[in-house]
Structure 1
Amino acid sequence: MAPTSEVLADMADLRSQLREQGSPYSELFKLRPARVLLDIAFDWTLMVGAVAAVVWLDVMLAPLSVLVLANRQRALGNILHDAGHRNIFRDKDRNDFVARGLVAPLLFASLSRYRETHFQHHLELGRTQGDPDLIPGQDHLPSSWMVSYIKCLLSWTNWLGSLGGHLFDQKVSLRSKAFIMGWWASLVGVLALLGGGDFALAFVSLWLISRATLFHCITTFREMCDHFGLLPGGVFGFTRDMVCHGPWRWIIHPRNNGYHLTHHLLPAVPYYRLPEAHTLLCQLPLFEDRSHICRAYFTTQTAVTTEWQSKAAT
C-alpha cells in the first residue's frame, strides 16, 4: 500500500520542481478571506431563498429546492474542507471561528474530528488500515462502474454519514454533538422568529431530505472521482484531477472541488486558486508524466467512468 513516506516523497519532489518557478508558485498560497466570507454568504442566501420559494410561492418547487440545497451543501463542504487546512485564515482562532460559526455545525460536522480524519487521509493515502476515506472493493472492480456506484450508494454507513455527518460518529464527543444540536436549535429559533414556524419547519425538513437523497448521491460519486479505481502508491498513483466544465461540474464539484490531485500535492492552496495551481503544475515534467487527469464524467474516452470501466477490464 502507500506508506506515508511515499506520499511525502511525491510532495517533496513536486515542491522541488515548483521552487524553480519562483514567484508564481508563492502566489498560490496567498489567502483572500473576504472571498470565502462572500461565498458563504452567497450559499446561505441561496439556501434560504430556495426554502422561501417552497413556503411562499409553490410547494411544487420542492424538488428544485432539494437540488439547490444539495448543491450548496456540497459547496459548503468544500469550505469546511478548506477550514480544516486553515485556508480561510492562517490564524487558527479566526479560521476556526468562521468555520464553527457558519459552516461546520450546519453540516452536522465537528471541525476537530473532520480535521483529524482528513489529515489522516492525506498522510495514510490508500492504506487499508490507515486511510479513513478509502472506498473498499477497489481491487476487485465489477464489470460495470454503475455496480460499484450503487454498492457505495447503498452502504448504510455511507448513508448515515451523508445524513447526519458526525452526529453518528462514536468517536465524536458528546460535548461536540451537543454543540451541533445547540447550534441548530438556535438556527431554528432565528428562522422561526424571522420567517415563522412554517418556514423553520420547511428549512429543517428540506435540509434533511436533501442530505438523505441528492446530497448523498452527489457526494458518493464525488468521492469515487477522487481515488476510485487507482492503485495505491503515493499521491500521483492514487489521486486524480477532474478538469471538467459545464453543468455536471457545477453539480458534482462546486468550488473547484474536482482538483483533488492538485490539492493533495499542495494542500495549503485555497479552493479559489486551485485552477491556477493546476495550470502551473501542468508545466512541470513530473506532473505531466505521472498525473491522472479526467476531463469528463460520462461517455467520452477521457471520462472518469470510462477509466473505472477500463480498470475493471484489466
Structure 2
Amino acid sequence: MTTHSEVLADLAALRAQLRDRGSEHLALLRLTPWRPLVDTAVDWVLVVACIHAVVVLGPWFAPAAIVIIANRQRALGNILHDAGHRNLCRNKHWNDLMARAFLAPLLFASLSGYREAHFRHHLELGTRSGDPDLLPIPEHWPKHWSASYWRNILCWSTWKGSFAGHLASQDVSLPAKFFILGWWVLVLVALNELAGAEFTATFVLLWLAARATVFHAITTFREMCDHFGLRPSGILSFTRDMVCHGVWRVLIHPRNNGYHLTHHLLPAVPYYRLPQAQRLFEQMPAYRDHATMCRSYFSGTKAVTRAWQAGAAR
C-alpha cells in the first residue's frame, strides 16, 4: 500500500531532475484560457448535433449518437478535471465560474466535491482508507483480462457513480446537489423554449442513456488503465502513461487523458501540454527507469490489458 511519504518522494525526485535541466519545464505550465473554452464549445456542438440528427433522421441513429455523446461526456469530464486543478485559468474565480456554468452540473458533479475527492486521490494514492478512486484488488487474478473488466463494470456502486455522479454521493452536500438539479431545470426550460419539447426530451433520454451504458464502459476501462494491476508503492510504481494513438485512444482517452502518470507527477500541466510533458519526462532518470508506459490497449506483450490477468509481473 502506498504511503504519503512515497508519493512525495516520487514528486521530489522528478522535480529535482527537472530543475537540474533549468527552466525548460516551466513552459509546460503556461495556460491558454481560450483552449478549454473552444474545446468545451466543440463538445456541446457535437452533442447538440447528435440530438438533432436523432430528431430528424429517427431512432435508427440513436446507437451512434449514444456512442458519440458518451465520448463527449468523457471529454468534458477531462476538462472538468483540469478545472479541479485550476488549469483552465490561473484566476481561480474565472476558472471556477467556467466550470460551474458549463461543465460540472452538466456532468452531475459538484466542483468543490470533485476537487476535494480528486486531491485525496493524488495525496493518498493507492491507500485503501484514503484513495476514493482505488479499484478493488483481486486476491486471485483471472486467466483473461476481460473478467477483471466485467467485475468492475458490473459493480453497482461504480455504475451508480457513472450514471448519477454526485447526485448519488453521500459525501456531497445537499445544497450542492440542489445546485446541480437547479442548473438542469434552468437549462431544460431554456432548451424547451428554444428547440421544443421533442428536442428537449430526446436530449434527456440520450444523455442519460449514454451515461448509463457507453460512458460507464469507457470510464471504467479508463480508470483501470490509470492504476489497475500495478503495485501500490508511490506514484511511479502505481500509475501508467498510455502513449497510444488511433481510434481506441480517441474513444477511451480524449483530451490526452491517458497521460495519467505525467499528470500525477506535475498536476499543474494543462491537458493540451501533457504529450509534450511526457516526452520531456522520458529524458529524466526517475521516469525513464521506473515509469510504466503502455503503447497499446489490447495487442502485444506490453498491452495494458495484460496487467489485468494472471501471469503479469507485479
Output the TM-score relative to the length of structure 2.
Answer: 0.98
Classify 1:139/1:121 alpha carbon distance in 2 versus 1 (closer, same or farther; 3 Å): farther
Give percent identity, aligned residues only.
59
**Of 56-65 and 45-54, the range deviating more from structure 2:** 56-65
In the TM superposition, what whole-angstrom CA distance separates every residue of 1:39-75 from its partner, at most 9, and x where no partner exists?
0000000000011100122321100110110000000
Alignment-derived partner of residue 131 in structure 2: 131
Q: Does 1:167 align with 2:155?
A: no
What residue is the counterpart of 1:105 in the other structure? 105
After superposition, the Cα gap between the structure-2 partners of 1:138 and 1:266, relative to the gap in structure 1 and judged at 3 Å, is: farther
2:67 corresponds to which letter in structure 1?
A: L
Matches within 5 A, 1:133-212: 133-212=133-212
1:85 and 1:313, CA in 2 relative to 1: closer, same or farther beyond 3 A?
A: closer
Greater CA drift, 130-139 or 159-168: 130-139
Moved more, 142-151 or 227-236: 142-151
1:276 corresponds to:
276
2:35 is the alignment partner of 1:35: yes
Q: CA deviation at 1:312?
A: 4.9
- Asked if the contact 1:82/1:270 (under 8 Å) is kept, the reply is yes
| C-alpha separation in 2, matches of 1:313 and 1:231 | 10
> Residue deviations 1:230-267, cap 9 Å, x none?
00100001000000000000000000000000000000
For residue 140 of structure 1, report the CA deviation from its aligned partner. 3.2
Is the CA contact 2:162–2:216 (under 8 Å) kept in the aligned structure 1? yes
- Name whichever of 141-150 and 286-295 sits farther off: 141-150
Distance 1:258 1:127 in 2: 22
Match for 1:80: what amino acid?
L
- Per the alignment, residue 74 of structure 2 pairs with 74
Classify the secondary structure of the residue corresponding to 2:293. strand
> CA contact under 8 A between 2:307 and 2:313: conserved in structure 1?
no
Q: Contact 1:141–1:312 at 8 Å: present in 2 too?
A: no
Contact 1:2–1:126 (CA<8 Å) still a contact in 2? yes
- In structure 1, stretches of 5+ residues that fail to align are none
SS of the counterpart of 1:134? coil
Q: Gaps (5+ residues) in structure 2?
A: none
What is the aligned residue count? 314
**Structure 2 contact 306–312 (Cα < 8 Å) conserved:** no
Q: 1:253–1:129: structure 2 CA closer, same or farther, 3 Å change rule?
A: same
1:288 matched residue in structure 2: 288
Letter in 2 for 1:175: P
SS of 2:302's equivalent in the other structure is coil
Counterparts of 1:248-267 in structure 2, within 5 Å, are: 248-267=248-267
